[in-house]
Chains A and B, each alone.
Chain A
Amino acid sequence: MLAAHTAALGPHSTGQHTVTSLAVANPGSLIQSVDWVAIAPPLIAAVAALAVLVTDLFLPERHKRWLGRLTVAGLALALIALLPLTDGSPRATFCVRNVAGGTDSGGCSYVADHFALVFQLLALGGALIAALLSMHTVDDERLPRGEYWFLLLSSATGAALLPASRDLATMVIALEVASLPAFALVALRRDGRGAEAALKFFVSSVTATAVMLLGVGFVYAASGSLHLGAVAEGLEHAPGQLKPLAEAGAVLTLVGFAFKVAAVPFHFWVPDTYTGAPLPVAGYLSVVGKAAGLSGLALATTVAFRPYAHTWGLALAVLAALTMTVGNVGALRQRFDTRYSAVRLLAWSSVGQAGYLLVPLAAAGYAPTGTDPLGATAAYALIYGVVNLGAFGVVAAVGRRAGASVDDFRGLFARNRWTALALAFFLLCLAGLPPGVVGLFGKVVVFRAAVDAGLGWLAVVMAVNVVVALYYYLLWTARLFAPAERPAPADAERRLPAGLTATLGLTASAAVVLSVAPQLVLQVAGGSLF
C-alpha cells in the first residue's frame, strides 16, 4: 500500500518509466477504491487485535478469560472471510494503473489469488489452533492475558497479509508485523530461558531484516519499481552496470525470507527459541512463522526474481538439501531423556520439514511454466501445519509442566490411549508412512515436483532424508506403546482442559479426514496457484 503511493508519485532514478506528473488528467485515478472484501481476512484479524487490546483495559481481572474467546472468534471470523474469495477470479486492490509491467494486477499491492488464499488459510488456521492451544497455557503460566492475545493476533495479521502482498515494501512490512510480536510472545514467559530465547530470536531476526531491507533497496535501485511484476520486468531490462547491484539485492532479499523459514544456515535459533517460548508459541512459530517466510520466499523468487530463475533454482535446491539434512541429523543427535527433548526434537524436525517445503520452490526455478510446483509446497505446508500443531498439542497435553522429555511419553498408550494414538498418527504423518496416508501423499507431491523438474539428485537426497527422519519419529512412536518404566504421575487421570481437547480433536479429525480423502488438500497441488 505504501509502495503503491511511492511508485505512483516518486520519480524513478533510472528514468525508464513514464513519471506521473502530479497534474494528472484524471485526478480520480489517484483516489483508490478499496476492495474491502478482498482485504477482509487480515483486516478482521487486525481489528480483533485492537479490540482485544482495548477491551483488556476495561475488563476486570476475573473476566479476562473472555479475551481468549474473543481472539478465537476473531480468527474464526477471519477464516470465514476467506470463503467469499474462493470462487471466481483473483481480486486485486491498492492498484496503480501506470506502473510498468502492467498486466491486469501487475500494479496492485494486494492480490487475493489462490496462492494468497491458501497461505492465508494456513496462517489464520494455524493461529486459530495455536490460540485454542494457548487457552490453558495462558492460565497455567500466568502470562499477561491482554498482551498475549493482542500479540498473537497482530502476528497472525502480518502472516496473513504477507502472501497477498505484491510489492516489496508491503512484504517487508507484513513480515515485520508477523515477527515483531513473535519476539515478545517468546519472551512472555519471563524466566531466564524465555529471555534468552527471545534475545537469540530477536538479534538474528533483526539482522536478517536489516540485510533484507538493504537487498530491497538494491533491487529498487536496479529495477526502478517495488511491485513484484514490475521488478521482474525491470531486472530483465536493467542496464549492464546495474546487474551486480540487482543480483546482490536479490540475494540479500532472499536471505531475510530464508531466515524466517529457518533454512540452513539460518536455523540456529530454532531449538533454543522453541524450548524457551511458551509451547503454543513454539507451535505457532513452527507453522505460521514458517508459512509467512515461505510465502514471501515463493513470491520473491517466482514472481520478482523470475529472470534469475536458474540461479535461485540451484541455490534453493542446495539450500533445501542442506536444510533437510542438517535438521534430520540434528534430530537424530537429540537425546531422548533430557528435559525439553520433546520440543527440541519437534524443533529439529521442523527444520527438516522446512527442507522438504523448499524442494518444490527449487523445482519452480527449473520448471518451464515457473509456477506449477508451488502447489506442492502449499499442499505440503497445509498438511504439515495440521499435523505439526497436533503434535505440539499432544506435547502440551502430556508435559503440562513444561519441559517434557521424549521419555516422559513412555507408556502413554496405557495411560491415555486416545492422546497416544493421536500423537502416533501425527508422527507417522510427519514421517509420511501409512496409516498417515496424507503425510505420504504430501511427500509424493513434493517428490513429483522434484522429479518433474529434473532434480533427480535432490529427490534422492530427500528420499534418504525421509528414511533418516522415520527413524526418530518411529523411536518416539514406539515409546508411546512401550510399557511405562515408572508409575504414572498422580495427575495423569486429570481430564484435559477444553482448549487442548478442542485442539487435538480438530487436528486429529482433520488429519484423518485428509487421509481418507487426500484430494481435499492435494487439489491445491493440482493446478496453477496464480
Chain B
Amino acid sequence: MNAVLIALLVLPLLGAALTLAPVFGPDRAVAGRRALRLNSVVTGAVFLLTVALAAGFDHDEPARMQATTDVSWIPALNVRLHLGVDGVSLPLIVLTALLTFLCALYSEKRLPDGEARGGAPDEHSPSPQAFVGLFLLLEVGMLATFAVLDLLLFFLAFEIVLIPMYFLIARWGSGAKAPAANRFILYTLLGSAVMLLGFLLIGSEAGTFDMQALAAAHGNGLSHTTQVIAALAIMVGLAVKAPAWPLHSWLPDAHTAAPTVGSVLLAGVLLKMGTYGLVRVLLPIVPDGTATFAPYLGAFAAVGIVYGSLACLALARPGSKGDLKRLIAYSSVGHMGFVLLGIASLTPVGVNGALFANIAHGLITGLLFFLVGALKDRYGTADLDTLSGATGAALYGRAPRIGALLAFAAVASLGLPGLAGFWGELLAMFGAFDPADGLSRPAFVTYMVLAGLGTLLTAAYLLIVVKRVCMGDPRQPAPVAEVADLRPYEAVSWTPLAALTLVAGLWPALLLGLSDPAVKHLLGGG
C-alpha cells in the first residue's frame, strides 16, 4: 500500500522530468500531441493508483494512518519523508487525481492558446511540453500536500504548486494575466511564509515536525502563548489560501485570467489545501490557540459568505458587465466561507460538514468552471451582458445539453437537497448552531443566521445566472450564430463530475463514514 502512495508522487514527477528530455521528436506539432498524450497517460495512471489506494484502504479504521512511509530525509532539520492517508485525506487525494485527469483529457483536445500574439498559435506561443511539465509538477504538489505528515514537507508541498500555477496563469491565461498571476503568487507566498514561522515555532517548542506525533500530543508540551502565536500565524497563512474574507482579493483576478483547466484546479484543489491544512494542522496540533481564534474565524467566514453572495448578485445584475468566471470565483469565497464556519465550530459535525463541503465544492465548481470555460471558448467572452443580450443567451434552445448541465451545476451549487452541495453546508450550519464547549453560543448562532441568509442570496444569484444564460429567446440576434452543443471530449471530462455530484448528494454516508472517525480522532474525542 505504501508503495502506491509513493508511486502517486513519483510518477508525475518523473513525467514532468520527461518533458525536459528530447523524446517527443523534432516536429513541433507531433511533439506537442505526444506530450499531451503523455499527460493524459500519467495523470490517468495516477488516478488509477488513487482508486487502488481507496480500494485497499481499510474502511473499518479510517482514523488510523494507512499506507505510511517514514524515512529520514534531512536529519539536520529533522525533516522526515513521512507519508500516509486517513479518512480526511483519502477523499481529497482521489478528488485531486480525478480532477487532474479530467483536466488532462480536456486539454488534450483543447489546449489553452497562451495568446502569444493574440492570434493563432505560432512559434512564439508556449509549447505543449512546457504545459505538461508544469501541469504534472502541479499535480505532485497538490497530491503531496494531502499525503505528507511532516510540517516542513507540508510547507514544501504548499510551495511546489505556486510556480506551476503562476506560469499556467501568466502564460496560458487571458486578459490581465501577468498582474493576476503576480498577485496570486505574492499573496500566497506571504501567507505561507507566515505559516512557516508558525510551524517553526511549534517545531522549536515541541522538538519535532511530525504531524502525527504532534497531533497525538494534542497541544501538550506547547505553552498557551506559543499555541496562540503559532495558531495565528498558521491560520493567516491558510486563510489566504482558502481564501477567507478579507484575504481573498487575489482569487477573482486569478480565476478570471486563468485558463479553464487552471481555474478548475485552482478552485477544485488549491483552495482545499488551505482548509485541509486547518483541519490537519491547526485543530489537532494547537487546540488551545485554535479555540482562541475560532470565534474570529467564524466571524470572517460568516462575513465571507454574505460578502461573496452579494458580490455575485452585483455581478449577475444586468448591465453590470459581470464576468462569469469572476462571478464563480466570488461564489467560491462564499462556499469556502461555509467550510471555514464548519471548521470554526470545532465540533465533529461542523468539521465533517466542512470536509464534505470541500469535496462538494471541488466537484461542483470544477464542473462550473469547465462549463463557463466552454462558453467563453464558444462566445469569445465570459461577459454576462454580452452573452445574454436582451433576453438571455437561451442555451436551452441553442445548446440544450450544455444548458442543462449548467442549470444542474448551478442548482447543485446553491445547495439543492439531493445534490452534493446540500449536506456540507447543512452540517456546517448545524455545527455553528451548537458549537464546541467554551465557544460563545450566541456569536455562532448569529454566524449561522448570516450563513442562512447567505444561502438565500446564493440561490438568488445562481437562479439569475441560469435565467440569463440558459433561458431567453433563441431567435434574438446573438454574438455567435451557431453554438456547438456538448462535444464528446467535453462529455467525457464533465460527466464524471456531474455523476459524482449526484452520488455524493444521494449517498453522503460514503464520505461521512470515512471522515467522521478521523475527525473525532483529530479533535481528540475518539
**Contact between chains at B73 and A519 (CB < 8 Å):** yes
B201: A residues at CB distance < 8 A = 451
Instruction: List 4 A-B pairs, minimum CB-CB distance, nearest first.
Output: A526-B76, A483-B124, A463-B193, A522-B76
* B474 → A minimal CB distance (Å): 41
Given contacts A483-B117, A483-B124, A523-B76, 10 further A-B contacts (CB under 8 A): A434-B141, A440-B159, A448-B203, A448-B204, A451-B197, A451-B200, A456-B229, A459-B197, A459-B200, A525-B76
Residue of B nearest to A421 (CB): B20
Given contacts A463-B193, A466-B189, whether A444 and B152 have CB atoms under 8 Å apart is: yes
A357: B residues at CB distance < 8 A = none
CA distance in complex: A421, B134 (Å): 13
- Is the C-beta of A505 less than 8 angstroms from some C-beta in chain B? no
- Is the C-beta of B167 less than 8 angstroms from some C-beta in chain A? yes
B79: A residues at CB distance < 8 A = 441
**Contact between chains at A474 and B182 (CB < 8 Å):** yes
* B59 → A minimal CB distance (Å): 34
Q: Give a binary string over A448-483; 1 marks a CB under 8 Å from any B CB, 0 the rest.
A: 100110001001100110110011001000100101
Given contacts A448-B204, A474-B182, whether A434 and B160 have CB atoms under 8 Å apart is: yes
A466: B residues at CB distance < 8 A = 189, 193
Residues in A190-215 with C-beta less than 8 Å from chain B:
none
* B168 → A minimal CB distance (Å): 12
**Contact between chains at B170 and A478 (CB < 8 Å):** yes
A435: B residues at CB distance < 8 A = 137, 160, 163
A319: B residues at CB distance < 8 A = none
Q: Give a binary string over B59-89; 1 marks a CB under 8 Å from any A CB, 0 the rest.
A: 0000000000000011111010000000000
**Contact between chains at B171 and A481 (CB < 8 Å):** yes
B203: A residues at CB distance < 8 A = 448
A459: B residues at CB distance < 8 A = 197, 200
Q: Give a binary string over A468-510; 1 marks a CB under 8 Å from any B CB, 0 the rest.
A: 0011001000100101100000000000000000000000000
**Contact between chains at A441 and B74 (CB < 8 Å):** yes
Residue of B nearest to A462 (CB): B193
CA distance in complex: A125, B163 (Å): 30
- Is the C-beta of A437 less than 8 angstroms from some C-beta in chain B? yes
A312: B residues at CB distance < 8 A = none
- Is the C-beta of A445 less than 8 angstroms from some C-beta in chain B? yes
Find A434's partner among B20, B159, B185 (CB 8 Å cutoff): B159
Residue of B nearest to A460 (CB): B197
* A185 → B minimal CB distance (Å): 35
Given contacts A433-B162, A437-B156, A483-B116, whether A447 and B77 have CB atoms under 8 Å apart is: no
Chain B CB within 10 A, most for which of A460, A483, A522, A526: A483
CA distance in complex: A353, B155 (Å): 22
CA distance in complex: A441, B76 (Å): 11
A101: B residues at CB distance < 8 A = none
A464: B residues at CB distance < 8 A = 190, 193
* B431 → A minimal CB distance (Å): 33
**Contact between chains at A470 and B186 (CB < 8 Å):** yes
A471: B residues at CB distance < 8 A = 182, 186
B452: A residues at CB distance < 8 A = none
**Contact between chains at A522 and B77 (CB < 8 Å):** yes
Q: Could you name 21 residue pairs across A and B whose Cβ atoms are closer than 8 Å? A: A433-B163, A434-B156, A434-B162, A445-B76, A447-B196, A448-B200, A448-B204, A451-B204, A460-B194, A464-B190, A466-B193, A467-B193, A470-B185, A478-B170, A481-B167, A483-B116, A484-B124, A519-B73, A523-B75, A523-B76, A524-B76
**Contact between chains at A433 and B159 (CB < 8 Å):** yes
A445: B residues at CB distance < 8 A = 76-77
Chain B CB within 10 A, most for which of A421, A434, A459: A434
Q: How many A-B residue pairs have CB under 8 A?
A: 101
* A459 → B minimal CB distance (Å): 5
Residue of A nearest to B194 (CB): A463
A470: B residues at CB distance < 8 A = 185-186, 189
Given contacts A463-B196, A478-B178, whether A452 and B189 have CB atoms under 8 Å apart is: no
A478: B residues at CB distance < 8 A = 167, 170, 178
- Contact size range, B: 35 or more
* A478 → B minimal CB distance (Å): 6
* A484 → B minimal CB distance (Å): 8
**Contact between chains at A444 and B76 (CB < 8 Å):** no
**Contact between chains at B197 and A481 (CB < 8 Å):** no
- Is the C-beta of A399 less than 8 angstroms from some C-beta in chain B? no
CA distance in complex: A460, B233 (Å): 10
CA distance in complex: A435, B163 (Å): 8
CA distance in complex: A414, B122 (Å): 13
Residue of B nearest to A431 (CB): B189
- Is the C-beta of B48 less than 8 angstroms from some C-beta in chain A? no
- Is the C-beta of A330 less than 8 angstroms from some C-beta in chain B? no
* B125 → A minimal CB distance (Å): 8
CA distance in complex: A219, B205 (Å): 38
B77: A residues at CB distance < 8 A = 441, 444-445, 448, 518, 522, 525-526
B126: A residues at CB distance < 8 A = 481
- Is the C-beta of A342 less than 8 angstroms from some C-beta in chain B? no
- Is the C-beta of B166 less than 8 angstroms from some C-beta in chain A? yes
B229: A residues at CB distance < 8 A = 456
CA distance in complex: A519, B78 (Å): 10
Residue of A nearest to B73 (CB): A519
Find B75's partner among A451, A452, A463, A526 (CB 8 Å cutoff): A526
- Is the C-beta of A138 less than 8 angstroms from some C-beta in chain B? no
- Is the C-beta of A428 less than 8 angstroms from some C-beta in chain B? yes
Q: Give a binary string over A367-392; 1 marks a CB under 8 Å from any B CB, 0 the rest.
A: 00000000000010000000000000
Chain A CB within 10 A, most for which of B152, B193, B196, B204: B193
Residue of B nearest to A485 (CB): B124
CA distance in complex: A91, B124 (Å): 59
CA distance in complex: A464, B190 (Å): 7
- Is the C-beta of B130 less than 8 angstroms from some C-beta in chain A? yes
* B352 → A minimal CB distance (Å): 32
CA distance in complex: A90, B147 (Å): 43
CA distance in complex: A456, B228 (Å): 14
CA distance in complex: A80, B137 (Å): 38
CA distance in complex: A474, B178 (Å): 11
CA distance in complex: A527, B408 (Å): 60
B204: A residues at CB distance < 8 A = 448, 451-452
B76: A residues at CB distance < 8 A = 379, 445, 519, 522-526
* A447 → B minimal CB distance (Å): 6
A526: B residues at CB distance < 8 A = 75-77
CA distance in complex: A478, B169 (Å): 12
Residues in A391-445 with C-beta less than 8 Å from chain B:
414, 421, 428, 433-435, 437, 440-441, 444-445
Q: Give a binary string over B267-290; 1 marks a CB under 8 Å from any A CB, 0 the rest.
A: 000000000000000000000000
Residues in B155-185 with C-beta less than 8 Å from chain A:
155-156, 159-160, 162-163, 166-167, 170-171, 178, 182, 185
B155: A residues at CB distance < 8 A = 444
CA distance in complex: A478, B180 (Å): 14
Residue of B nearest to A445 (CB): B77
Find B196's partner among A444, A452, A484, A519 (CB 8 Å cutoff): A444
A483: B residues at CB distance < 8 A = 116-117, 124-125
CA distance in complex: A474, B163 (Å): 9
CA distance in complex: A383, B197 (Å): 21
**Contact between chains at B189 and A467 (CB < 8 Å):** yes
